[in-house]
Structures are given as structure tokens and as C-alpha cells.
Chains A and B, each alone.
Chain A
């Protein structure tokens, strides 16, 4: 198709299709999807080098020199198409405004822990994560008590959408001053996303900053500890395990560390007292004390008062735990009329085993692809589940693009800050989705087999015996030979 050369004339510019317009002082404003928009400013009859190709249509406003206050509409091509495009542009702009803006930032590791040593100098690596894969600028700063002991090599980072993470280093050079103050000393490496500036030159909206902490422990001169409590397998009529991790933060080793745990009801009535095992603990090391408890109490919240005894000293703390931590149990997952490529309705039946109503309960199904990346993250609506009742949570999984096969998955039913998990295998075929629970849940015991060290030890002992026997036999053999030789010499 040939381009036609036109001179702008206010009466003869309404022409369709491809034109090559030569207009005086046309200023192209923008170019969107092959459509040129221009503004004809003045002296429209004067031919100037400014010319551009009107691929589909052209729209412009020009001021007639005889009547400069009255703008004249300049258009060529299909007005309908133009109007549709204008409407679409407005719609897209509105959508851009309405789509929630997301600011995300990450940093790893969240914490680096060091034990103080005189003259300690170390370079520590950390990464800043661009979780949203977007263009952003991040400012790195140091703050906290140890800020003079930390040197940051970079201050300003720029991320491209293609960059998921960037690795940086900081150098720690600890001063000897802190050696006099036992305990925890901290510094913070702050990554702050630089907010976008509005037209008025002000920052708009909330900004995100993430912190990588540096914890430096200066050992106390004598014996001091840090302890916590973890309670595992607190199901009714099972054996719960109480684990007390203890870290020796002192300069001296501890000969014996043990803990006594008193268990109380929520009404502060003492139920029982259990004692952990006894262990030695070297300076700066960590160990775990453990105790078992036969759970024969109803579901609910309980309080553990822990006292850790170490070489004549003690430290006490309290921690709440729940019996029947599986307040919600996942009873079944049902999928009816499944068709691959359509939206699957998952009916997740859960039972509230707690004696109180659970509010805002929802299910979250994660499906992992072969590379173990989350390929589906499905959530149900929230529901309140009355005490000791069952309820169905409905979630919808859009299976468009999902291929037939077997996938690992994880179903989490969340309530408050707690979660009931179940690992799943999803067998996806054209007309069916079979979901099975996986029997590999972490369990407290069960491993059998001979330790590799034992095997090597047995092997060494066998070889030792063989060689020893060989040596003894050899010595005896030589001894006998010598005796025969000597007797022969005497006879002679």
C-alpha cells in the first residue's frame, strides 16, 4: 500500500487508511500501538521537515492562524477505532491505578551469630532479595550498638526485574571494649526500599525495610546459660517429648546440666513434675535435655515452668504449650467431577477437636511441580468452626496448564497463628484427581540399623585379631625353628 502525501488542510484531512502527512510543526506526543498522536501548533500551511507516517489514523489539534483561540480537530483514518483505543487506554490506566501496588523486599540470613574472640575480624555474606522481580533501588545502612564495628562495602543497590537476589558482604571488626560487657551485643544491616517519588516531589505510601541482624555474644566470666523449651507430640494418650535446648554462654564448662519441668493447667493447678536427663556442657556449646511425659490430660492449654540447674546455679522460665496441638484435624479431601484444565472444587473436611470455637479457619493447599517449586497456592474462604464440630472448607484449584502426573503437595489448615499440616500426593489424570496423605510424617522413633562407626570398628577389630594371630603364629614358628636348629647344633 502506498503512502499518500498530504498537505494539511482543515477541510480535507478526513481520509482513511495509510497516509504520509506532512504537517507544519507537528509535535508527536507519543506512539502507542502504531498510532500517532500529534498536535499541530501553528502555521499549518508551511511545509517543514517534521513529518511522520500515519499508519492507521492520526488525530491532532491545531490552531488556525486566523483564529488562534479556537482549536481545530485534525483527524484522519477511522475515528471509531481511535475512540475505542482511547477508551481502552483509559481502562488500562484505571486498571493500573486500581491494581494493588506491591512492595516486597527480603534479606537472608535474618541473623548471624558470633561468639566474641579477641581481635575477631570476619567478612559476612548476606543477600538482598527482589521477591517481586521489579525495578527498585535499595539503600543499605548499618545501625545498632556495634555500628562502628561493621563496615559495609555497598550502600546503594539497583535491581532489574530479571534479578532475584544480589549478594553482598560486610566486615566485622570487634573492638576490645565489648569484652568487658558479657552478654549480647548487636548490629543491624538494614535494607530499605527507596520509595517512588510523586509528581509533587513527595514520597507516597508505606515503605519496607528488612533487617539482617548481627548478634555477638561475649561469654560471661563464670557459668551462664541460655535455655528454651520445645514440646513435641503432645497428642492425647501419646508420649510427649519435652526438649530443653541449653547453650553455655559462659567461659567455663558445666559439669552437669539438668532441668525440672512443672506442668500446670490454665487454672494454675499443678499436674505433674518431670525431670530431664543430666548432661555435661562445654563452654560455648549447645546441648538438648529431654524428658518424656505420658499425656493423660484433656486437650487444652498448659503451662510449663522450667528450672534448669547447672553446677549449683539455676535459671527459671515459663512457656505455654497445648495438648492436642492438632486442634483441627484434616479428616478428608474430596474432589468430585474433576476435569483436567478446569477449575477443581476441593472439599476439605476438618474437625475441631478443641473445646472452644475456632474462628477464621481456612485451608491453604500448596502443590509443588517436579522442580519442587510452588505451582499452585490455593486458599479457601475463612470459616468459624464450633467446638467439637466438623466443617467443610471449599477451595478451588484452576488446573489450566497442569499436566497429568504425580505431584507433591501440602495442605495447611490455618487458625489463628497455628497450622495443621498434611503432606499429600496429588495424582492428576484427565478425569480424576486422587489425593492421598503421605505416610512419611516425621515421627519420634523408628530407625534401625548398625551404625557405620560400629561396622568400621568391628572391621578394625577383625583385622587386628587376624594380624595378631598371624604374628603370634609366626613368632611360635620361628621359635620352634630356632629350637630345632639349636638342638641339631648341640647333637652335632
Chain B
């Protein structure tokens, strides 16, 4: 009799333990499910300096140049599903938010691009354009000697002599 009682007691205890474990698992699954549903989701696409954020259920994107999100900037989706905008080259950290939850931090990099174009208008006249995404220091070299210097902002252009070598480097 005594042994049976002990067995019953042990079974009851075990059942209680199992119940508590099951309840914890249910609780975790429920929390994970709720989190999955309300977790702010957004996708990012980078094309050159263009950054495109596509929102699934996020309404704000928080961007910072610092991993600790100091001095962040905020992008509102409002009624739109995507945002397209330009960013300077650099490393950026971002997370999506939907006023309930702030998502986990992610990172992307916009590479700097040094690009130059010479359009020969006629004869000695030409136009030098900065077609990259960074400010350029352009040196003009002739027979191995530096004979001139131009600073060009992105999309800027300047008339030049159609001779010599123009070397552009990031400012």
C-alpha cells in the first residue's frame, strides 16, 4: 500500500512537472508567435548610392552611422510601402520599428565610387564631370608634372583643356 502511494505521489509530481514544462513551452511558442506577428519587418535593397527600403509591417526605419544608434535619423513610411533615397558612401546601421517593437540592428555599406567623364565638345574644349558619388580632388598632369588642380563635387563639371592626364581621387 505504502509503495503504491509513493508511486502515485511520484506520478502526480511528474505530471505536475510535465504540465509546468508544457505550459512554459506553450508560453514560449505563444510569445514567439506574437513576436513574429508584430515584429517590424522591412527589406533593404542597395543600388549604387540608392537605398530602397520595402516595408512589410514597419512604419519607421531608424538609421545611424554608429552601431550604438547614437544620433539616429528616422524615415517614415506613412502610407507608402517603400522608400527610395540617396545616402553618402559609408557604413550604416538600421532597424525597423512599428511603434510597438524596434527590430534587431542590421548593417549595410555604400561603397565610395570615384568616377570621371571627359566630354570633348570640340577641338581643345572639353568638360570634366564627376560621375562618382564622392567629392574628388582632380590633378592635371602633363609630362609627369602636376600642372593643375580641381575639386569636383558629385555631379559637378568643369570646363578643361582637352590635353594632359586628369587623375581623380577621393577628397
Interface residues of A (CB under 8 A from B): 98, 100-111, 129, 131-132, 188, 190, 192, 205-213, 241, 243, 245, 286-288, 290, 364, 368, 372-373, 408, 410, 414, 417, 421, 423, 425, 438-440, 442-452, 455, 459, 462-463, 466-467, 470, 477, 481
Contacts and interface: CB of A to CB of B under 8 A. Distances in A.
Contact of A210 (B24, B31, B71, B115): B115
Contacts of B169: 110, 188, 210-211, 213
A103 B70 contact: no
A452 B102 contact: yes
Nearest to B140: A206
Most A C-beta atoms less than 10 A away, residue of B31, B75, B113 = B113
Contacts, number: 203
Contacts of A205: 118, 120, 126, 162-163
Contact of B71 (A107, A208, A288, A450): A288
Contact of A105 (B39, B99, B116): B116
Contacts of B77: 440
Interface string B86-107: 1001000000011111111000
Nearest to A467: B24
Q: What 4 A-B pairs have minimum CB-CB distances, sorted nearest first?
A: A106-B115, A110-B170, A110-B112, A104-B117
Contacts of A449: 40, 60, 97-102
Contacts of B104: 452
Contact of A110 (B20, B65, B89): B89
Contact of A109 (B98, B111, B160): B111
Interface residues of B, number: 74
Nearest to A188: B169
Contacts of B153: 417
Contacts of A241: 71
Contact of B114 (A211, A290, A444): A211
B21 to A, nearest CB: 9
B85 interface: yes
Contacts of A100: 119-122
B114 A212 contact: yes
Contacts of A109: 89, 111-113
B84 A408 contact: yes
A452 B100 CA distance: 10
Contacts of A105: 115-117
Given A106-B132, A447-B97, A440 B115 contact: no
12 contacts: A98-B122, A110-B111, A132-B117, A206-B120, A209-B166, A213-B170, A368-B84, A440-B75, A446-B60, A446-B74, A452-B104, A481-B9
Nearest to A438: B80
